Amino acid sequence: MGKKSRVKTQKSGSGASAVVSPKEMMNLISELLQKCSSAAPSAGKEWEEYIQIRGLVEKIRKKQKGMSVVFEGSREDYFPDLMSWAQENGASCDSFIVTNFGAEGYGLRATRDIKAEELFLWIPRKMLMTVESAQNSELGPLYSQDRILQAMGNVTLALHLLCERANPASSWLPYIRSLPQEYDTPLYYQQDEVQLLLGTQAVQDVLSQYKNTARQYAYFYKLVQVSRTTCLH
């Protein structure tokens, strides 16, 4: 199917950190979870709390550096494979092409006149990553055991995506390789960029979102690790 998969997992070399013991990592995760689960700080202390949480997150990121699956090349290198995969699986995608619209990002540009009310794009359900497909994947046992995961469809899909991303034989790989590597949202802001928001109405939402996301990460990290340990015994 088009170009061969150019996927590598960084586990050693200049891009990776030294081996981190599971206990050391779990201690950091537990500290992060405790910090993010504490009561809301008193007025004026939110920024201080954010600095502490971000410090823990950065420690974890540093220790995990080099352990992620990396796709070589640029995102648009994989668009031809994406379109071929879509057509092979029964999607209708012959009326447009993927185009870079500059500041607006990538989108679809019509290659023919499209009439009003005309159905010009459809995608078979089997191509969709859904909570149902997550339940039928290797994530299924974990999903069935945790009520919080069952109540959070967005997190279920995020974990589903991560599992499939790490699987070189995933049927969704052409789609996953075409996804952005990062997004222009506050979660991706550097600390000095977030600091520029101090004194605005937006800053409380940004700090709250960061704290909630860090808490979710810590909770589900522990859940996955405990589940893996149980399966090994």
More confident site: 89 or 21: 89
Please identify which residue in the block is written with the tokens 């859904």: 130
- What's the confidence (pLDDT) of residue 230? 56
pLDDT digits (tens, 9 = 90+) for 117-176: 999 999 999 999 999 999 999 999 999 999 999 999 999 999 999 999 999 999 999 999
Q: Which two tokens stand for residue 203?
A: 């800053």
- What's the confidence (pLDDT) of residue 19? 65
pTM: 0.83
pLDDT digits (tens, 9 = 90+) for 179-225: 998 888 889 999 999 999 999 999 999 999 999 999 999 999 999 99
More confident site: 18 or 35: 35
Q: How far is CA 2 from the centre of its chain?
A: 25
Q: Look at residue 15 and tell me whether its pLDDT is greater than 70.
A: no
Query: 8 pairs with which residues across the strands?
Result: 70
pLDDT digits (tens, 9 = 90+) for 53-90: 999 999 999 999 888 888 888 999 999 999 999 999 99
- What's the confidence (pLDDT) of residue 5? 44
- What's the confidence (pLDDT) of residue 67? 81
Three-state DSSP class for residue 50:
helix
**Strands (DSSP E) found in the chain:** 7-9, 69-71, 96-100, 106-110
- What's the confidence (pLDDT) of residue 1? 38
Which residues, including other chains, have CB under 8 Å from residue 217's CB and lie 6 or more apart?
32
- What's the confidence (pLDDT) of residue 42? 85
Burial (0-12, 13-18, 19+ Cβ within 10 Å), 201: exposed
Query: For the chain, which residues make up each domain, given as ranges?
Result: 20-71+200-233
